[in-house]
Amino acid sequence: MLKQINLFGTEFKPDENLEKYSTKIEAPIYEPKNIKPHLLELCDRSKTNRLIKEIESSPLDEEEKTFLIDAAKRHNVFNYEKIADYYAHSNSDIQQLMERSGLVIIDFNKAIEYGYVKLCDEIRKQYLEQYGE
């Protein structure tokens, strides 16, 4: 059996009386800031842009470049705190599209409908079947 050692070299003994996982599930509540961020603050595209430059300057055919450019976009890094601020200060048209894109989850039932929390909902159903309310 492996021992866990802390920074000072002594054995670490976790409290075995503590439960490993909580069954209490609460959605985080976010309080928006008073300022609407600029769109450029919502997403860091630096790695994506570097990859796209490499792809575009490569000798590949256009179909391959298109595929690789699409794949490179998965390296975009979204700042969800700023996205939430942007959402809070936007009109209903963009809010609806942001919800549809899964950038914010405001309504749990809509999130299930759009498929963003399908697995979570399945796990919840199984848990309730096994343990009840």
Phi first, then psi, for residue 102 (nearest 5°) are 75, 15
What is the pLDDT at residue 2?
55
Report the chain's mean pLDDT, rounded to a whole number. Answer: 81
The burial class, CB within 10 Å (0-12 / 13-18 / 19+), for 121 is middle
Average pLDDT, integer, range 33-52: 95
Say what the pTM is.
0.61
d(CA 57, CA 113): 41
The burial class, CB within 10 Å (0-12 / 13-18 / 19+), for 41 is middle
The answer on pLDDT for 20 being more than 70 is: no
Which tens digits make up the pLDDT trace of 83-103? 999 999 999 999 999 998 888
Which tens digits make up the pLDDT trace of 99-131? 988 888 776 666 666 666 665 667 777 777 877
State whether the Cα torsion 30-89-101-48 is positive or negative: negative
Question: What one-character-per-residue DSSP string does 55-96 give?
Answer: HHTSS--HHHHHHHHHHHGGG-EE-HHHHHHHHHTS-HHHHH
